[in-house]
Amino acid sequence: MNSVKSIVERMNNDELIRLARQLEVSLTNRKVKRDLLVETIQSELEEHYRERIPWKKTRLKDPAIQISGLTKKFGNTIAVRGLNLVVRPGQIVGLVGPNGAGKTTTLRVLAGIIRPTEGSVRVNGFDMNVSPLKAKQTLGYIPERPTCYPNLKVREYLTFIAKIYRVPPIDATLRMKEYVDLFQLNDLLDAYIGTLSKGNLQRALLVGIFVRPPPHILALDEPIYGLDPRGAWSLKVLLKKLRDEGSAILISTHILEIAEGLCDRFVIMNEGDVVGKGTLEELLVQTPNAHTIEEIFLELTGGIPGT
Amino acid sequence: MLARVGEKLRSFWPVQTLKLIVLLLIPYRVSIEFVPYDTYIHLSSIFWQWYSYEPGWFIAQRFGLMSPWTAAANISVITAPSLYFCYRLRSMSETESSSWLAASTTAVSFICFILISYSYWFEFGGWGSDTMYWHALQGFLTILLTLFVFVPTLKRVSNKCIPKRQMRRAKRIRDRLHQTLVKLLPQHVSRMMILAALVPPYMFGLFVDTYGSGLSLFSPLAGMFSFYFQVDRFLVTPFLPYRASFLMQLGSTTIGFLALGILWLQLLYAHEVLRYVEGRVGKKRVTLIGLTLLVPIVFLGVSSGVTMMLGQANSAFIPFPVSILIGSWLVQRKDRLLSNGDAEPVEVEPSPSHENEVSVPIIYILESRLKKLLRRHKS
């Protein structure tokens, strides 16, 4: 409840009025003291959440992501061959590999954007081929090259996402404020999405995902790549927090420092095949000549080049 | 037996005949005239007229130069293409396009109308005493084409494009959109006000006739209605109008279709002015659209003057394009604000009350008060 109170304190006047309207606070005077309004809203929120904890907690199915025997062919080219992958709630799994290894294809199949040639994908227990809507409802996906409705303003996009995912309006307002502050999107709320840079668009999409209540199942394709150091740091902290709260996260990256600092387990891919799998310790056992994640990666994807 | 009669009545020809009878009977011209101490009403259909100042009903249209049989023949010629279109439409499959047939039916109907009216004009050297019939016939043609050609074509297109299951979904989305719009409305009051100011009945004007002058308002709205108001001798006796009249011409074909174009341009102009005020388009574009809008309005004014000078009409209409004047004023105002901003930035000291006080929107206050009142009323 304290975090909710601090969110309300950080809100500007327009946001306070919006929240007051959602809470049906009666305001009959043209001017009202800000402190008084904040206090009233806080007590109304306390009343509102008396029956239920903020952001209703649900549990994810175990495993949250299950990819079995996935093969994806584009004509004669095999992008992914026989991939088996499991992400359990409370885990961050890193999909690591050089360019063209099949990471993005795997995530696109997972998000239901393309169909697998063979094999199946289950998200929160729902098969992406059989019940795609239910599977997609629980999944948050950020593509490598983010795209979004260019004619919507950031604020409109976030409100739209909250509405289609049926987030209660009060929860949506509070969560939006929390994550807009975290990703420093305040100044861009009234900007058109079409005018945003890649990094800012990525932040807007991330806030769009986090407007929905946790726990999340996330599929993030190179999420840190377009962000500035502060944004990257905020995201890493947030992902770890979400993991601790029970979210399941699959990250594709080729930046090994990020993978090492963030992921609990790794799946190393090379030319569509899985060449290594497990925790850092398990991978070190598999590759006796390697001492760091970088050396493991090089060893498994063609050997360490001689100097 | 009854079922068979009902089925026959629902079949093609009885339904079309019934529709036609209704179209032939409805009045296409309603005129109400106010003079000191009295009011005159005049309704005119194709085959009947009614004057409030003459005793009894006049069932028959009083044809002067033309025989009623010629009038009926004219109607048959004008109606035939539309009836043929309806008949063909029945035998067409759902996937077949009817747009070309609809376009050619409309073209043929217009050509028939023009041929009939000009042959009359050349034969009798003018409209003579049959003016009311020709006015009504214009209205009849517009409504006939709307009911028999445009509406069935649109219906087919919408049925073809949206399967039933999706239709329900579309309706749900439309309802939700409507609700959102209603919620958004108060936030866009200023935009709405600008739009309302820019899309008025587009021609206010001075009406000059051989007896004096008056103030009039003229709005052919989407080619279906003309609304006309005139106060004669307004300049001579401003406090006691000599005569005020209201005229509604249903489906005025000649001016109606031109009006459709002007109405579209008018909406485009309003939209662009709004975008200019919001800083989303340049001044050049707004000015260009404004000038384009001015062309047909000036054309109407000039043609009305020329018609009067040639002795074909006893009045002329001087248009007063309100929307362009308001639009230009808004554009100028925006320019002034911008140039002021460039000249010297004025730093406004925020008052301490600004930071500590929150302004509550008036609509919110009204809502709160209303809810309070209702709660008190309930308790």
Residue A40, amino acid? T
A26 at interface of B, judged by CB pairs closer than 8 A: yes
Q: Give the Cα-Cα-Cα angle B149, B152, B155 (nearest 5 degrees).
A: 145
Please list every residue in chain B whose beta carbon sits closer than 8 Å to the beta carbon of residue A16.
358
Which position has the higher pLDDT, A216 or B10? Answer: A216
A151 at interface of B, judged by CB pairs closer than 8 A: no
Please list every residue in chain A whose beta carbon sits closer than 8 Å to the beta carbon of residue B187.
none
Secondary structure in 3-state letters for chain A: CHHHHHHHHHCCHHHHHHHHHHCCCCCCCCEEEHHHHHHHHHHHHHHHCCCCCCCCCCCCCCCCEEEEEEEEEECCEEEEEEEEEEECCCEEEEEECCCCCCHHHHHHHHCCCCCCCEEEEEECCEECCCCHHHHHHCEEEECCCCCCCCCCEHHHHHHHHHHHCCCCHHHHHHHHHHHHHHCCCHHHCCCEHHHCCHHHHHHHHHHHHHCCCCCCEEEEECCCCCCCHHHHHHHHHHHHHHHHCCCEEEEEECCHHHHHHHCCEEEEEECCEEEEEECHHHHHHHCCCCCCHHHHHHHHCCCCCCC
> Which of A24, A26, A37 lies nearest to residue B358, judging by beta carbons?
A37
Contact A30 B362 (CB under 8 A): yes
| Alpha carbon distances (Å) from B12 to B16, B37, B148, B155, B304 | 6, 51, 12, 17, 44
Residue A219 to chain B, least CA–CA distance (Å): 29
Tokens of A190: 């009234």
Please list every residue in chain A whose beta carbon sits closer than 8 Å to the beta carbon of residue B372.
26, 28
What's the rounded Cα separation, in Å, for the pair A268 and A225?
A: 19
Residue B375 to chain A, least CA–CA distance (Å): 12
Task: Tell me if A21 sits within 8 A of B365, measured CB to CB.
Answer: no
**Over chain B, what is the mean pLDDT?**
70
What is the average pLDDT across A13-32? 88
Name the nearest CA neighbour of A255 among A289, A229, A290, A273. A229
Residues 6+ apart with CB under 8 A from B287: B331
pLDDT digits (tens, 9 = 90+) for A83-106: 999 999 999 999 988 888 899 999
Residue A70, amino acid? L
Which value, to the nearest 10 degrees, does the dihedral of the CA atoms of residues A22, A26, A32, A35 take?
Answer: -60
CATH fold, domain A65-146+246-300, is Rossmann fold (3.40.50)
Q: Is the ipTM of this complex over 0.90?
A: no
Mutate to test the interface with B, among A16, A30, A160 (most CBs of B within 10 A): A30
* Cis peptide bond prior to A215, omega within 30° of 0: yes
pLDDT at position B186 over 60? no
Lookup result for tokens 């950031």:
A154
Residues of B with CB under 8 A from a CB of A: 353, 355-362, 364-365, 368-369, 371-372
Domain boundaries, chain B: 2-182, 194-239+250-340
> Which of B355, B359, B371 lies nearest to residue A26, judging by beta carbons?
B371
Mutate to test the interface with A, among B169, B180, B184, B358 (most CBs of A within 10 A): B358
Please list every residue in chain A whose beta carbon sits closer than 8 Å to the beta carbon of residue B369.
28
pLDDT digits (tens, 9 = 90+) for B240-295: 445 556 555 555 545 555 565 666 777 778 778 877 776 677 788 888 888 888 88
pLDDT digits (tens, 9 = 90+) for B35-58: 666 777 888 888 788 877 766 555
Which position has the higher pLDDT, A241 or A289? Answer: A241
> Which of B355, B364, B369 lies nearest to residue A21, judging by beta carbons?
B364
Q: What sign results for the dihedral spanned by CA atoms B61, B63, B69, B74?
A: negative
Residue B198 to chain A, least CA–CA distance (Å): 25
Q: Residue B143 — very low, low, confident or very high, per pLDDT cuts 50/70/90?
A: confident
Which residue of B lies nearest to A192 if distances are taken between CA atoms?
B280
Question: What is the predicted pLDDT for the residue at B284?
Answer: 85
Which residue of B lies nearest to A159 if distances are taken between CA atoms?
B180
Domain boundaries, chain A: 1-54, 65-146+246-300
Contact B364 A17 (CB under 8 A): yes
| Alpha carbon distances (Å) from B253 to A126, B83, B339 | 61, 19, 47
Question: What is the predicted pLDDT for the residue at A157?
Answer: 93
Which residue of B lies nearest to A29 if distances are taken between CA atoms?
B365
User: For residue B311, is it left (φ>0), alpha (ψ between -120 and 50) or beta?
Assistant: left
What's the rounded Cα separation, in Å, for the pair B67 and B46?
A: 13
Of A43-52, A249-258, B351-360, least confident by mean pLDDT is: B351-360
Neighbour-count burial of A283, counting CB atoms closer than 10 A to its CB (0-12 exposed, 13-18 middle, 19+ buried): buried
Which position has the higher pLDDT, B323 or B168? Answer: B323
Question: What is the predicted pLDDT for the residue at B12?
Answer: 79
Which residue of A lies nearest to B183 if distances are taken between CA atoms?
A21
Contact A27 B365 (CB under 8 A): yes
Which position has the higher pLDDT, B293 or B165? Answer: B293
